[in-house]
Structure formats: C-alpha cells, structure tokens
Amino acid sequence: MAVHTLRTRILIGLLPTLVILTVLGLWAVGMFYRLGGNIDRILRENYRSVLAAQGMKEAVERMDSGLLFVIAGQHERGRRQYAEHRARFLDQLRIEQGNITLPGEQELADNLARWFERYTDAAGRFLELPAGTRPARIDAYFHELLPAFDAIREGANAVLQLNQDNMSAMDLQARENAALSTRLMAGALIAAIAMAVGISVWLSRSIERPIRAVTVAARAVARGELDQVIASSRRDELGELSIAFNRMARTIREFRQAGTARLLRAQKTAQATIDAFPDPMIVVDPMGSVELANPAARRLLGAVPAGDTPVPWQPPAQIRTALSEVLAGRGDHLPPTLEQAIPLSDGAQERFFLPRVVAIRADDELLGAAVNMVDVTRFHRLDRLKSDMVSTVSHELKTPLTSVQMAVHLLLEEVVGPLNSKQIELLLAARHDADRILAMIDDLLDLSRIEQGRVRMNLQPESVATLIAEAEARMDPQAEDAGIGLSADRIDHDLAVLVDRDRIHHVFDNLIGNAIQHTPRGGAIRLSARVEGPDIAVEVHDTGRGIPAEHLPHLFDKFYRVPGQATAGGAGLGLAIAREVIAAHGGRIEVDSQPGRGTTFTFSLPACPAAAGSDGPEGQLRCPSIPVS
C-alpha cells in the first residue's frame, strides 16, 4: 500500500520505537514503585524503632546520672533529672511497643519493659533512703540499680541492632534490584537507539532531498533571485510545500513589481511636498543621515540626501544639540520665542530662522526626525527695530527727566523761596513719579544694552551661600515691613558660580521683591540651592497667590504683567532683564506656579567648584576671572 502523507510515513517509522519506549516506561514505573515501597517501609518501620532505641538509651543514662547526683549530695537536681528522663524513657518505650515489625522484637520490647520496671522500683527505694545514709545508697546503687541499668542498655542495643541489621539487608536488596534494573534498562535503551537510528536514516533519505531543494530556492529568493521553480512529483506534504513555494515566489515577483512602482511614487510625492516649503526642511533617519531635503535646506544648510552609504549630517552647532536630544527620545524641540532664532547667510543677506525639530514615530518606534527652519527674519527685524526705538526714546527722555528731577529737588529744598504744604505735596508726588519713570528708563536702557551685547560682564567666582546670604540681608527689612518671613536653607559653601556680582544681585533683588509684592502678610519666602549636573540651581519659593498657567509662557516678555496682579509702579521689565542677565551668564530661568499654592522661580548657572585638593589655599575658588562683553 502506497503511503501518500509524510505524517503517516513518520508515524509508521516511529511506531516500533514508541512501543519499546512504552514498555520500558511501564517497567520502569513498576520498578520505581517497588523501590519506593521498600524505602518507605524502611523509613516507616525500622527507622522509628532505631530512634526509639536511641532515645531510651539516652534517657536511662540521664536517669542514672540523676541518681549519681543524689549520691553526690545534689538531691533536688538529681530527683528533677531522674523524673524528667523517666517520662522521656516511657514515651520512647511506648513508641517501640507500638512499632513491632520484626520477629523477636516483641520479646526484646517486653524484656526492656520488665527491666525498666525493676529499675524504677529500685530507684524508688533508693530515693526514699534518708539523706544521711550515703553508704546505704552507694550499696543500693551497685547491687540493684547498676545491674538493671546495664540490662536496659543491652536491651535497647539489641532493639537498635535488630532494626539496623534489617535496614542493611533491605538496603542490599534495593541495591541489587537497582543494579538489575539498570542493566535491563541499558539493554532496552541500546535496542531503542539502534532502531531509532535505522528509522532516522530511512526517514532522512526520503525527506532530505525535497527540503534541500526548498532551502536552496529560499536562499536564492533571499538574494533577490525571484525566478525560482521547484520540480516535485511527490503527493505528500513535501510535494505540497514545493507547490506552495512556487506560488509564493510568483506572488513575491508580482508584489515586487507593484511595490517598486508605489515606492517610487511615494518618494517622489514626499520630495515634491517638502520642496514646496519655502523654508529649509530636512528629514533625517535615527542615525542622523539626511533622507530628504528641499532646495532651501541644501542651499542654506548644505544638507544633501545620503546615498547607499549613509553619512550622518553635520548640522550647525545651534541645531546639533536639539537634534541629538530628539533622536535620543527626549521630546520635541519647539522654541517658543524669537530669542532662540539662529542667523544664516543667504548669499549677501543675513536671515534668521527658528529651528523646530520634531520626532517621526510609528507605533512608538522612532523612525527619524523632521527639522523645519521657520523664517522669522521679518519678526526679528521688527523686534530689533522696537528695541532700538525704545532705547533711543529712553535715552532722549532721560536727560530732560533728569533736569525735571533736579528742578523738583531744588524746589523742595526751597532754594527759590518758601513753599506751602500743598505745593510740597504736589512736588513730592512729582519727584516720586520722576524717580519711577527714570528707573523705568534705566531698566529699558539696561535691557537694550544686554540684548545688543554691549554690556561688559565682569565674571568672578562667587560662593552661592554668600550670594544668597547677602540677598537675604538686603531684602529682609522689606520683607519684615510686609509681615513676610524670609529665610534661606543651609547651603554648602563649596558651591560656587562664575557671575557678575552686581548683575546677579539685580536678579536676586527682582525675584525676592516680586515675591514680597505678591505674597500676603503672614506668608513665607524661602531661598535654596542644589546641584543639577554641571549647573547649580537657585530657587526663590513663596507662598503667595500663584500665577494662572496661561500666563506663565509670557511671564518673561517685556512689559508683560499678569492681569489683576500687577502692583503699582511696575513696568513689566524686571523679569525680562533677569532672563537676559541669566542668559548672558550661560544659564536659564524657569517658573513653576499654581494659583493658591505659591510660585517658584528657578535659575541655573554653570557650577564653579571649590578648590578642594588644588594647589591653592583651602576654600579658595578655582574658577578664573573672565570679563565678558
């Protein structure tokens, strides 16, 4: 009868081996069951008797020791020890009497019980002797107690020896059975292995040739040679495999032709899409190699799509860090303000672009990143024009306002004549307004100079603890007048930063002053500092009213004041100046606030470690003094 399925062929070939393995397995189960029964019987019967005999020996020895204590004069101790181990001996004797399993063991147990009864009777008479009759006790011990003691020990040893001999005999029998079983199992295994080898050779010869043909064809398909056809006349599963492989190869050829056309069309569509962007647009893979770039990106950034050998693109320094962080999975880079715009030369013209880097993902898998350079040249010029106009107007207003301030001062000094109370009141109001406007103009001029890079900053190493202590001392009277507690955490004096002392004082004063203005009486302001990697972060935390979330992104903009919280006299320039000062130091400033829970301003500056272990004096700061324009 012809066999038409590979499964039937394999089952027929393996059937004899399966029968042998089944018989061998059943025989092994029976053998293990018998061996397990013998071991269980040894443990259940003989081992309990062995333990009981050993327990009786130990108990009677301790009883005998108790009687010797009595002879030695330790009456109470001897009586306690005798009574305690008498009960223990009886327990072990009952276990032995309830575990009689061998011929002759019952007689040994009964003999033990009789001798123990004689021993306890003699011990009772021994203990009833008066305390002063030591010679009588010694005589009773050697003539009555010691012979009974020896007989009990011999009886316990006889029980122990009887059970141990039986355990040895059972162990020998188990070893002989195991050796016989091992020989039989080895022979059966050799026969099964020989049959399995013969069947394997027969099956491999009938299966190897078609599988090898399929393997060779599959490797050819993997190399891209899709015109593979396997010839087979078999009607079993291997024949069906050959037919299925031929169909698969034909389908792959058809898909490849259609997929190549779709891929080319998708690439052309994507390239045409980004080419339509007027601003530079680049798409990079996870390794940073350029995959797509429009003409503006090629012209301004030199980004050229990589060929067969991808080469990572070298972006400008202002973009490199943001692109690396996005490709590392740390979130998109979306700068919110024009201050982060970077200049690029477009021929003879300088243009400003705001870099936006967005990760490209599919099912949480990073496929690359898109770099979009938004042209903000017009907005940058408008901002510069506004700053220049404010600077010019402020400069032009400062001189006449200074003259007005001087004139008001002279009038208040009554240089030109006496003043009545109403005139003094009006002149004081005018002087206050003039002082406030001049302070605003000074802030505008400072902000303009910092933004234009015309402020020379004299960076010196300063202890963070000292800076915070000085700020606390300067602002504490104002906080005390407002009924607000101002405190500073304990800060390590080794923490140091490289700063312009006067400028950083301005930042501290502005942040603490704002906290005082917006914290109700009875509130608190806390100053602290901590290390954050290569930087030192300084916090100014208050328990004030807090700032709504929608106002936080604009808090550092010029002239911006939170509606409903602006205090009289403020122009909205303090935080803008603080941000520019911190940026000029190479740091950053952030704010975290929730209405009703207070506000925390945090600014970070590059750390300048103390010179512990350096050649200089102990406690000296090792950062060099660096004047920065």
Domain presence at residue 263: no
Residues 334 and 432 in one domain: no
Cβ atoms of 498 and 460 closer than 8 Å: yes
Domain closes at, from 199, 231, 251 = 199
Query: In this predicted model, which residue has the larger pLDDT, 565 or 190?
Result: 190
The backbone torsions φ and ψ at residue 305, rounded to the nearest 5 degrees and listed phi first, read: -55, 140
- Between residues 249 and 91, the one the model is more confident about: 91
Model pLDDT, residue 614: 39
- Which secondary-structure segment (H or E) carries 73? none
User: Do 474 and 599 have their domain in common?
Assistant: yes
Residue 309: its pLDDT value, please? 55
438 and 462 part of one domain: no
Question: Domain check: are 315 and 365 in the same one?
Answer: yes
On the 0-12 / 13-18 / 19+ scale of CB atoms within 10 A, 628 is middle
- How does pLDDT run across 392-403, given as a tens digit for each residue? 655 555 567 677
In this predicted structure, what is the pLDDT of residue 484? Answer: 93
Identify the weakest region by mean pLDDT among 105-109, 323-327, 341-345, 507-511: 341-345
Cβ–Cβ under 8 Å, residues 404 and 434: yes
What pLDDT does 1 receive? Answer: 44
Whether residue 10 is contained in a domain is answered as no
Query: Percent of the chain at pLDDT above 90?
Result: 8
**Helix, strand, coil percentages for the chain (3-state, nearest 5):** 60, 15, 25
Q: Does residue 392 or residue 333 have the better pLDDT?
A: 333
Cα 565 to Cα 572: distance, rounded to the nearest angstrom: 11
DSSP of 104-151: THHHHHHHHHHHHHHHHHHHHHHHHS-TT-HHHHHHHIIIIIHHHHHH
CA 589 from centroid of its chain's CA atoms: 28
Least confident range of 143-147, 454-458, 529-533: 454-458
DSSP letters for 567-621: PTT--S-HHHHHHHHHHHTT-EEEEEEETTTEEEEEEEEEB--B-TTSSS-TT-B
Are 515 and 584 part of one and the same domain? yes
Query: Do residues 101 and 40 share a domain?
Result: yes
Tokens of 179: 């050796």
**550 is a domain residue:** yes
Q: How would residue 536 be classed by pLDDT, with cut points 50, 70 and 90?
A: very high
Q: For the ranges 79-88, 124-133, 562-571, which has the lowest average pLDDT?
A: 562-571
State the residue for tokens 């140091």: 496
| One domain for residues 92 and 44 | yes
> Given 199, 214, 230, which residue is the final one in a domain?
199
Q: Tell me the pLDDT tens digit for each residue of 24-51.
A: 777 777 766 666 666 666 656 677 888 8
Question: Are 341 and 417 part of one and the same domain?
Answer: no
Could you tell me if 32 and 171 lie in one domain? yes
What is the pLDDT of the chain when averaged over all its residues? 77
- Decide if 60 contacts 89 (C-beta within 8 A): yes
Final residue belonging to a domain, choices 345, 375, 405: 375
pLDDT computed for residue 528 by the predictor: 93
611 has a pLDDT exceeding 70: no
Do 397 and 468 sit in the same domain of this protein?
Answer: no
State whether 494 and 551 are in the same domain.
yes
Q: Could you tell me the CATH number of the domain that includes residue 315?
A: 3.30.450.20
State whether residue 324 is helix, strand or coil: helix
pLDDT at 185: 76
612: confidence class by pLDDT, cuts 50, 70, 90: very low
Count of structural domains, the chain: 4
- In 347-390, the DSSP E strands lie at 349-362, 365-375
Q: What is the pLDDT of residue 451?
A: 57
pLDDT for 390: 58
Convert the pLDDT of each residue in 127-175 to its tens digit.
888 776 788 888 888 888 888 888 888 888 888 888 888 878 777 877 7
User: Do the domain assignments include residue 552?
Assistant: yes
Ramachandran area for residue 579 (φ above 0: left; ψ -120 to 50: alpha; else beta): alpha
pLDDT cut 70: percent of the chain above it: 75
Is it the case that residue 539 has pLDDT exceeding 90? yes
Q: Which residue has the higher pLDDT, 410 or 102?
A: 102
**Rounded CA gap, 284 and 288, in Å?**
5
CATH code for the domain of 533: 3.30.565.10
Please say whether the beta carbons of 405 and 434 come within 8 A.
yes
User: At 617, is the pLDDT very low, low, confident or very high (cuts 50, 70, 90)?
Assistant: very low
pLDDT of residue 320: 81
Q: What is the CATH number of the domain that holds 114?
A: 1.20.1440.210
Residue 19 falls inside a structural domain: no
The pLDDT of residue 540: 94
pLDDT at 376: 79
Per-residue model confidence (pLDDT) at position 618:
41
Q: What is the mean pLDDT of residues 369-381?
A: 78
Question: Residue 391: pLDDT band by 50, 70, 90 thresholds?
Answer: low
Does residue 228 lie in a domain region? no
100 located within any domain? yes
Better-scored residue on pLDDT, 264 or 494: 494
Both 479 and 550 in one domain: the answer is yes
pLDDT at site 466: 92
Q: Is residue 247 part of a domain?
A: no
Quickly state the pLDDT bin for 541 (edges 50, 70, 90).
Answer: very high
- Tens digits of residue pLDDT in 342-365: 788 777 778 888 888 888 887 778
Over 80: is that where the pLDDT of 482 sits?
Answer: yes
pLDDT score of 100 more than 60: yes
Domain that holds residue 304: 277-375
Q: Is the pLDDT of residue 505 over 50?
A: yes
Instruction: Give CA–CA dist 212/404, Å, rounded.
Output: 104
Model confidence at 244, pLDDT cuts 50, 70, 90, reads confident
Per mean pLDDT, which range of 178-192, 286-300, 403-417, 498-512 is the poorest? 403-417
